[in-house]
Structure 1
Amino acid sequence: MELPPLSLEQLSKLAASNTPSSQLFEILSQYETDASIMSAGSGSAETGAGDPQLLSLFYSSFFFAHLLTKQLPEARALTKRMPEALRHQDPSLQNCLTLLQALWQTQHAQVYQILRGLPWPESLQPLVRRYENFFQDDTLIAISTTYEAIRPETAANYLGLDPQAAEQGDSAIIEKFTSCGWTWDPAARLLRPSPIVVQPTDQTSSNGIRETMAMLGNRGR
């Protein structure tokens, strides 16, 4: 099916849609040639030739589509293909580069600070929030299968929550972890994770986790 022309309206619709991540990535992949032509100054007024706002939203959206499909090295390669002047001057693309560095260095707390604290344009906000949820869910699954025991403040840090409240044994935080199948050892003051297994091809596989963690995630903001 032929795609609509690349435009701010089309990108905003895609960002706000529930399009599965793999499909979102494929759609945006098909637009990259158009974006490259526009960045070179070609095209027409109807397609938004050379429009910095349009190019910023496209490359930012495509960057998050890479992250949502767990293609971190490819996301890094994408940043090299962004128009150089725009990459160095545009706030959204600068934010993407900062996020990339935090992800590359596995700085979990910094990732949440960037996603929640840096100014992102309204049209990109749905993808930013979507990736925050994805990152939190993916991290929860990872630590559930990696640790036999973990201090609550460490687990909270991984998930972008309040480490100090967790260290003090905040009952709401502890309860949310135990709701995911973990156990709490009050004597040792340790959480004991239970592996969370999801089917990688199931587009809704993290929905249950997201519902379980929703209240806890809000506490981290």
Structure 2
Amino acid sequence: MMELPSFTKEQITKVIVSNAPPSQLFEILSQYESDACLMSAGSGSPETGAGDPEMLCLYYSGFFFAHLLTKQIPEARALTQRIPVTLKHHDPSLQNCLNLLRAIWQNEHGQVYRILRGLPWPDTLKHLVKRYESFFQDQTLIAVSTSYEAIRPAVAAGYLGLDTQAAEKDNQTIIQKFTDCGWTWNPETRLLYPSPITVPPTNSQPPSGIRETMAMLGNR
């Protein structure tokens, strides 16, 4: 087994901004958690008590998203309990992560998109944030497709972070996003009729999220 590179900010940044499959991303970052714990217990500023708070916040934020991308929500919640309290209280990115976890846990889809798109994220994390937004849309699309026999366009749009006001007016661009993946639109009832969607399990994360998924499903 190859020895992992040293636990440095450069190495963690390299891992986080890579296009590694989610399972691989999780596996690599999980092997650094003991190093993060040791660093957390080291000397540092009075505010954080950590040896390198900037690096630790980057690591824990990246590891948090690795949990989400591998659908380990309870485990992500457990991770937040292991993050040093002082870091959670002082770092905006970790605060964003906690708010995001709460929204996911409570199935507040609109809030999930507002956090991912509207809150400030450091440049190093933006790649992971975008990856998770696409992943969340794909998973939600699949869930909605199997949960509803009929659904109003605005409700469907809300689940996927699309423009609900435009959908309320039967915007054809939005309607087509759903019909392209096998749903049926009835202009008389003004309802969408979902068709169950199944996607083969994969370790790779598509870069374009829902657009790629819909394109693939629309060509079935």
Q: Give the structure-1-normalised TM-score.
A: 0.89
The runs of at least 4 consecutive aligned structure 1 residues that moved more than 6 Å come to: 205-208
Point out the more displaced range, 6-15 or 147-156. Answer: 6-15
Q: Is the 8 A contact 1:64 1:127 kept in 2?
A: yes
Please name the residue that 1:127 is paired with: 128
Q: Does 1:102 align with 2:93?
A: no
Q: For the residues of structure 2 that align with 1:107 and 1:208, how far apart are their CA atoms?
A: 19
Point out the more displaced range, 111-120 or 7-16. Answer: 7-16
Deviations 1:100-139 (A, max 9, x none): 1101100000000000000111001110000000000100
Task: Return the letter of the residue paired with 1:114.
Answer: I
Q: Give the structure-2-normalised TM-score.
A: 0.90
Q: Does 1:150 align with 2:148?
A: no
SS of the residue corresponding to residue 2 of structure 1 reads: coil
Please name the residue that 1:112 is paired with: 113
Task: Return the letter of the residue paired with 1:158.
Answer: Y
| Percent of matched pairs sharing the same residue | 69
How far off is 1:15 after superposition?
1.7
| Cα distance change, pair 54–208 in 1 and its aligned pair in 2 (3 A) | closer
| Cα distance change, pair 167–208 in 1 and its aligned pair in 2 (3 A) | same
How far off is 1:143 after superposition?
0.4
Q: For the residues of structure 2 that align with 1:213 and 1:181, how far apart are their CA atoms?
A: 9
How far off is 1:141 after superposition?
0.7
Gapped runs of 5+ residues in structure 2? 44-49, 216-220
How far off is 1:210 after superposition?
3.2
Deviations 1:75-105 (A, max 9, x none): 0000010011001111110000000110110
| Cα distance change, pair 208–83 in 1 and its aligned pair in 2 (3 A) | closer
Q: Is the 8 A contact 2:131 2:205 kept in 1?
A: no
SS of the residue corresponding to residue 191 of structure 1 reads: strand
Q: For the residues of structure 2 that align with 1:118 and 1:205, how far apart are their CA atoms?
A: 23
State the number of aligned residues.
208
Cα-Cα RMSD:
1.8
Please name the residue that 2:78 is paired with: 77
Q: For the residues of structure 2 that align with 1:202 and 1:24, how far apart are their CA atoms?
A: 10
Q: For the residues of structure 2 that align with 1:206 and 1:89, how far apart are their CA atoms?
A: 32
Q: Is the 8 A contact 1:141 1:197 kept in 2?
A: yes
Point out the more displaced range, 77-86 or 12-21. Answer: 12-21
SS of the residue corresponding to residue 32 of structure 2 reads: helix
Q: Is the 8 A contact 1:178 1:184 kept in 2?
A: yes
Q: For the residues of structure 2 that align with 1:12 and 1:197, how far apart are their CA atoms?
A: 34
SS of the residue corresponding to residue 106 of structure 1 reads: coil
Deviations 1:128-155 (A, max 9, x none): 0000000001000110111111000000
Deviations 1:30-83 (A, max 9, x none): 0000000000007xxxxxx71111000000000000000111111000001001
| Cα distance change, pair 129–205 in 1 and its aligned pair in 2 (3 A) | closer
How far off is 1:211 after superposition?
2.1
Q: For the residues of structure 2 that align with 1:145 and 1:3, how far apart are their CA atoms?
A: 42
Name which structure has the greater RCO, CA cutoff 8 Å, separation 6+.
2
Q: For the residues of structure 2 that align with 1:210 and 1:202, how far apart are their CA atoms?
A: 18
